[in-house]
Copies of this chain bind each other. A is one copy, B any other.
């Protein structure tokens, strides 16, 4: 299975992660808007956040916004792509760590995310699930971006599961794609419950259930 089509992203302007920290304004401004947007929209939702608040937080005048983004909707798409890229970047190390077995890697990426949620306190952002639900019937472009992210995410998990199966860590009778979908579903549900209960307990429940029971190497 091929990775989903990569949409036009900031990569057209500069190679990712090349610059250390130049006080360059142009790229920096766009990024500042995105960072502020992720913060505010992660807290108050897409429709609940006005551009004014986002731009005030970013310290960027309104005129600049529409230089970098055609509309608030397109801004939402950019937000999702940014969140996906950041997340994958964070997990890259664990994902391709050849010193660990596939199942260990699978466990690592969930555990790392859990630890990050804990570090960030009880009001984590969870930007993507939030935008997913809010724009599912509201904005087709944002919805498409969200769907793309989830397919990619499921594919990554499925691949790990297949590797784990090939080394005998996971029962080969399980359908890897369906199992991956179930894991993603469960994880998203846990993330929601974390928001509702304002506790990382659901994430711990997920980890314990999956890695100490469901996929436990010794059966």
Question: What residues make up the interface of A, taking CB atoms closer than 8 Å to B?
Answer: 43-48, 123, 126, 129-130, 132-134, 136-138, 143, 146-147, 150, 178-179, 181-182, 184-190, 192-193, 195-197, 202, 205-206, 208-209, 214
Measured in the bound complex, the distance between the Cα atoms of B178 and A184 in whole Å is: 18
Measured in the bound complex, the distance between the Cα atoms of B193 and A75 in whole Å is: 23
A193 touches B197 (CB 8 A): no
Q: Which label, helix, strand, loop or mixed, suits the secondary structure of the A interface? A: helix
Instruction: For A192, give its contact among B46, B48, B129, B202 (CB under 8 Å).
Output: B129
Query: Given A188-B189, A189-B187, A189-B189, does the pair A196, B48 have CB atoms closer than 8 Å?
Result: no
Which B residues are in CB contact (< 8 Å) with A188? 188-189, 192-193
Which B residues are in CB contact (< 8 Å) with A130? 133-134
Measured in the bound complex, the distance between the Cα atoms of B45 and A47 in whole Å is: 8
Which B residues are in CB contact (< 8 Å) with A132? 192, 195-196
A192 touches B44 (CB 8 A): no
B193 touches A185 (CB 8 A): yes
CB distance from A162 to the nearest CB of B (A): 17
